[in-house]
């Protein structure tokens, strides 16, 4: 596979298991506020040893199977009462770790829906009072890896699936839906948008739908910190891969004004209009990528959907695009910045679901490895991917086969956080004394 830090990746679902594609190009080397600066891969050859059922440090309950050299705490469990007096929502999904006031701030999605007559939003200033999705923020002590403070940070949205951090210290949460008010639901607003949450805040954010970024079944976003260009994946079939060029870009420490609008574009393959990436791809073949502009990012009435607008202009088709992440001057499955072209190449494809099944969220680790969160039909693992293209198990739940989501490292690179969606649990994992992350590929 070569050096992952010089490539960009995309996880997508394949018939048997999953695949990783790379869009290669020149990316500026910079650091996200929410991520440690990744460095050239220098870890061990692969896994960290067999998984062993272990008790958590703070509850004593046996919740995870981990390599012997690691320990963990359980934080932010569904149903527990938060510091704002509200119960922790269910369906934990995408998440990122930020640093603020000497603490770790985890901004976490909740893939809930609502829409029923008795549905109530999880917060006090919802976008839609009948939508039960949103985000919570969990403030974690970096030494004890336990909760200091937690609260609802956005409410009234639907199916907050993945999303992504920005260089200016905020979280972009994505609605994976196109639901609208109708006779069979009680929604009051159209959905399918992206919302921004400042990670350092200690209260609920007043929601603003970023309509210029597109109305679609959003999955994840990744931001180039040198330009503020935001790359978006779409979870539908067919789907497209997009980039949003804000009209008022930001910089490290200076937020972009996303509400001011911008231009939404969809990826196409040069010389191959309406190219279908879903079947028949060959590892190592390079395809030149270009971009077409979406005229109506928030389609109204009879205007075609965002992806149909792009396809009509020659954009490429993908199958259920999933995670995206920035790392070490590259963005996972994105075009290079500063030009209109890039190289798209299939790098890794699973041979069976036993090796890798339905990768969803993904994360580029501080040391240059890849973490893949499984969302398949069997027992789901948090799996690592080495630069040599070897997949290995890193975490398994001791009792649940539910989706893994939201893998993210603390800014100092010491602690890994992730969610198990079905049990509504967030975990913090770090090496035991005498062990380190450098012993393996993460």
CA distance 240 to 42: 34
Residue 374 structure tokens: 């499984």
CA distance 193 to 174: 6
Q: Is the pLDDT of residue 380 over 50?
A: yes
As a whole number, the mean pLDDT across the chain is: 83
The pLDDT of residue 12 is 29
The pLDDT of residue 280 is 72
Q: Quick one: how many helices (H) and strands (E) in the chain?
A: 1, 27
Contact residues for 279 (Cβ-Cβ < 8 A; gap 6+)? none
Do the Cβ atoms of 199 and 170 come closer than 8 Å? yes
Neighbour tally for 248: CB within 10 Å? 13
Which pLDDT tens digit goes with each residue over 226-236?
A: 889 999 999 88
Q: How far is CA 312 from CA 268, 295, 330, in A?
A: 11, 11, 29
**Once rounded to an integer, what is the mean pLDDT over residues 333-342?**
40
Q: How far is CA 5 from CA 22, 39, 113, 177, 369, in A?
A: 11, 7, 37, 32, 8
**Which residues on adjacent β-strands are paired with residue 300?**
none
Q: How large a percentage of the chain has pLDDT more than 70?
A: 79
Residue 275 structure tokens: 């190219």
CA distance 357 to 381: 9
Among 226, 238, 218, CA closest to 164 = 218
Which pLDDT tens digit goes with each residue over 348-377?
A: 444 444 444 445 577 888 887 888 888 666
> pLDDT band for position 429 (50/70/90)?
very high
The pLDDT of residue 338 is 35
Residue reference for tokens 């969610």: 419
Q: What is the distance of C-alpha 79 from the center of its chain?
A: 24
Q: Is the pLDDT of residue 40 over 60?
A: no
Do the Cβ atoms of 137 and 118 come closer than 8 Å? no
Among 162, 98, 58, CA closest to 421 = 162
Do the Cβ atoms of 358 and 376 come closer than 8 Å? yes
**Which residues on adjacent β-strands are paired with residue 344?**
23, 287
pTM for the full predicted model: 0.86
The pLDDT of residue 282 is 66
Domains of the chain: 4-439 (2.120.10.30)
**Which residues on adjacent β-strands are paired with residue 385?**
370, 391
Neighbour tally for 254: CB within 10 Å? 10
Q: What is the distance of C-alpha 352 from the center of its chain?
A: 24
In terms of average pLDDT, the best of 80-84, 277-281, 338-342 is: 80-84
Q: How far is CA 263 from CA 63, 98, 146, in A?
A: 45, 28, 41
Q: What phi and psi values does residue 20 have, to the nearest 5 degrees?
A: -125, 125
Which pLDDT tens digit goes with each residue over 166-222?
A: 999 999 999 999 999 999 999 999 999 999 999 999 999 999 999 999 999 999 999
The pLDDT of residue 46 is 75
Among 391, 157, 381, 343, CA closest to 373 = 381
**Neighbour-count burial of 364, counting CB atoms closer than 10 A to its CB (0-12 exposed, 13-18 middle, 19+ buried):** buried
Sheet holding 103-110, edge to edge: 92-100, 103-110, 133-140, 147-157
């Amino acid at each position: 596979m070569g050096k992952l830090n010089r490539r960009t990746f995309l996880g997508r679902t394949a018939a048997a298991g999953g695949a990783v594609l790379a869009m290669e190009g020149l990316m500026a080397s910079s650091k996200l506020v929410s991520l440690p600066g990744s460095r050239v891969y220098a870890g061990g050859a692969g896994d960290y040893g067999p998984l062993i059922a272990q008790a958590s440090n703070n509850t004593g309950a046996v919740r995870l199977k981990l390599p012997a050299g690691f320990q963990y705490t359980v934080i932010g469990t569904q149903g527990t009462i938060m510091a704002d007096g509200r119960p922790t929502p269910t369906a934990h999904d995408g998440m990122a770790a930020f640093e603020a006031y000497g603490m770790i701030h985890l901004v976490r999605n909740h893939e809930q829906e609502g829409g029923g007559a008795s549905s109530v939003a999880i917060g006090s200033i919802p976008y839609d009072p009948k939508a039960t999705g949103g985000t919570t923020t969990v403030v974690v002590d970096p030494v004890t890896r336990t909760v200091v403070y937690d609260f609802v940070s956005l409410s009234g949205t639907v199916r907050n699936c993945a999303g992504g951090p920005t260089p200016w210290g905020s979280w972009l949460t994505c609605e994976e839906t196109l639901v609208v008010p109708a006779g069979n639901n009680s929604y009051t607003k159209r959905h399918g948008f992206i919302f921004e949450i400042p990670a350092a805040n200690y209260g609920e954010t007043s929601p603003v739908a970023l309509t210029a970024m597109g109305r679609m079944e959003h999955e994840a976003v990744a931001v180039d910190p040198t330009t503020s260009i935001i790359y978006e994946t779409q979870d539908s079939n067919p789907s497209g891969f997009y980039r949003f060029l804000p009209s008022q870009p930001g910089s490290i420490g200076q937020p972009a004004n996303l509400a001011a609008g911008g231009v939404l574009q969809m990826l196409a393959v040069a010389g191959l209009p309406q190219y279908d990436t879903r079947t028949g791809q060959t590892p190592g073949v390079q395809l030149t990528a270009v971009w077409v502009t979406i005229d109506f990012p928030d389609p109204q009435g009879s205007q075609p959907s965002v992806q149909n607008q792009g396809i009509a202009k020659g954009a490429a088709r993908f199958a259920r695009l999933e995670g995206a992440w920035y790392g070490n001057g590259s963005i996972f499955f994105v075009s290079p910045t500063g030009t209109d072209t890039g190289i798209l190449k299939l790098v890794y494809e699973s041979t069976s679901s036993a090796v890798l099944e339905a990768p969803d969220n993904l994360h580029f680790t501080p040391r240059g490895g890849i973490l893949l969160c499984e969302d398949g039909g069997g027992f789901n693992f948090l799996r690592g991917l080495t630069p040599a293209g070897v997949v290995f198990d890193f975490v398994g739940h001791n009792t649940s086969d539910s989706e893994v989501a939201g893998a993210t490292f603390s800014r100092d690179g010491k602690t890994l956080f992730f969610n198990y969606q079905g049990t509504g649990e967030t975990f913090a994992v770090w090496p035991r004394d005498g062990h380190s992350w450098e012993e393996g590929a993460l």
